Structure 1
């Protein structure tokens, strides 16, 4: 594994490069308030066995310091492009979890010539695509992250962040982005996505199953998987389900 920082759009974006080979590199984009390790620690080694994997930490996450730049999904997607330029990667498949899934979708829509296949874990394309108790931030909902989940996010951040004391401020800025600023995409915009996608949610996820079905209908060449007995924060910790489907989907791209 090698790692470094790419100077992109006024930020120092942290990235790691694992493995080698494969038709195209695979970019990993973590969930909101996660680090690379927290989102992908259980799946990254297997994904990097036979191909190059580039894992990126977005603005304010992990080792990538926050700035006063407004957080937006568009800016995140452009930052990913900057890292690919820095590494000399012309085209990549992208796997994104939650916030990373939104960023992956935006990247595919904004930079289609640089996008191979997309794997979208626990993502939605409109704010109303998640269950109402999630939009209401209902602490009584069994779908919500637990106190232990939030403590794990905080601990992962504090361990590697340039400013460990910035977590609460960063979390507030991220909440504004996800719950107020981000407006999603229209059906017409989503149907214009030129990259096939594997859409994967848990049966107890934030995303409504009907919304995920609609995503599959709109994205040409897409597939949908619903993981049993799986909450939002658990989906990246189910390598028994996730890895075989992701590997098959990405291998298929070599012969399709």
Structure 2
């Protein structure tokens, strides 16, 4: 296990030079960011709080932030999951907890389905397992995934200041747009077979529909009557919270995450 704080390292995994940061000490908690996000925009306000009693390992996927793209390799949940699994192997970590946000939550779910022995506990924020779970108005938001639509946003600022080839911003957004158009339809039985306890989190004004969030909660062992048998997983809907603000709700998140992980 890594014990030295290291803010800015790279690991060679699957032909990728993957960027990751290590903060704090203790049991490892991997932070997996969302679409168009690097470490800072996805988890910047949470890392100091989570790292108080955990070893937080925050990473950036292919083409995101400090991690350079592989032009000929499409973006996919499955490939990102393979990359994260390879990173665990490179760091000699046999088992860890995972906090995935948005796209990163889907990656965490993929890891739990395919390599369950690697996963202790799951925190899945704004997670879908089927395209039908996305908000029907999401297409209006995705139309802003252009250099013009994101001009002046923290996402543009982060990419331009961290990417190895900042001029690739338009190409990166085009790949993200193509990734978002791929139909997501994961077998419910594969999800139901996951044994790791999960904390499922969503905003009440999220890009994921509330019904889908509850369905995922039930698939992961939630929904029993607590007085008779407490469910292995937990569910939280954050009030007054849209998708892009979810990981900034530090007071709400820190009121539930440490207890769940312990």
State the TM-score, normalized to the length of structure 1.
0.90
Distance 2:152 2:137 in 1: 18
- Shift of the 250–139 alpha-carbon distance from structure 1 to 2, 3 Å rule, reads closer
Which whole-Å CA distance do the structure 2 matches of 1:79 and 1:87 have between them? 12
1:212 aligned to 2:216?
no
Counterpart of 2:197 in structure 1 is 196
> 2:87 matched to 1:91?
no
Structure 1, gaps ≥5 residues long: 142-146, 252-256
Deviation at 1:160, TM superposition (A): 0.4
Tell me the residue number matched to 1:30. Answer: 33
Given the alignment, which residue of 35, 42, 45 partners 1:42?
Answer: 45
Q: Distance in 2 between matches of 1:63 and 1:189?
A: 33
Q: CA deviation at 1:140?
A: 10
- Residues of 1 paired with 2:151 and 2:35: CA distance? 12
Q: Which deviations, in whole Å up to 9, do the C-alpha atoms of 1:192-241 show, x marking residues without a partner?
A: 11211100000000011111001111112221100000000000000010
Q: Where is the helix percentage greater, Structure 1 or Structure 2?
A: 1
RMSD, aligned α-carbons: 1.9
| Counterpart Cα distance in 1 of 2:41 and 2:84 | 19
Q: Which ranges in structure 2 are unaligned for 5 or more consecutive residues?
A: 222-231
Q: Which residue number corresponds to residue 244 of structure 1?
A: 255
Deviation, structure 1 residue 154: 0.9
Alpha carbons of 1:96 and 1:150: their partners in 2 closer, same or farther (altered >3 Å)? farther
Do the aligned partners of residues 165 and 149 (structure 1) sit closer, same or farther apart at CA in structure 2, a change above 3 Å counting? Answer: closer
Per the alignment, residue 100 of structure 1 pairs with 104
Counterparts in 2 of 1:103 and 1:139: CA distance versus 1, 3 Å:
closer
Does residue 159 of structure 1 match 2:161?
Answer: yes
Aligned to 2:12: 7
Distance 2:254 2:98 in 1: 14
Question: Partner of 1:118 in structure 2?
Answer: 122
Tell me the distance in 2 between the aligned counterparts of 1:167 and 1:110.
32
Deviates more, 1:219-228 or 1:230-239: 219-228
SS at match of 2:137: helix
The CA distance in 2 between the partners of 1:224 and 1:121, in whole Å, is 10
Large movers: runs of 4+ above 4 Å: 138-141, 147-150
Change (3 A) 1:110 1:201: same
1:227 to 238, 241, 252: 238
Query: Alignment partner of 2:204: what SS?
Result: strand
Residue 254 (structure 1) aligns with: none
